[in-house]
Amino acid sequence: MKAAGIFESGKTSSHGCVNYGYDEALAWIGMTYLQEGNTAESAADV
């Protein structure tokens, strides 16, 4: 969640970085919620 937050804050783009990994960070958050049985949250973050 911290990685996704950094992407959302725009800190990565201000340094000329490309936002590689943002989609993957969101996917991992969703998969973690799904493993915990929290299907409502896993669908909300997708």
Query: What confidence score (pLDDT) does residue 18 get?
Result: 60
State pLDDT tens for residues 10-28: 665 555 566 678 888 888 8
Query: What confidence score (pLDDT) does residue 11 get?
Result: 61
Query: What confidence score (pLDDT) does residue 6 get?
Result: 76
Q: How many domains does the chain have?
A: 1
Q: Which has more confidence, 12 or 38?
A: 38
From the list 39, 18, 40, 21, the residue with the least C-alpha distance to 5 is 21
Domain of 25 in residue numbering reads as 2-44
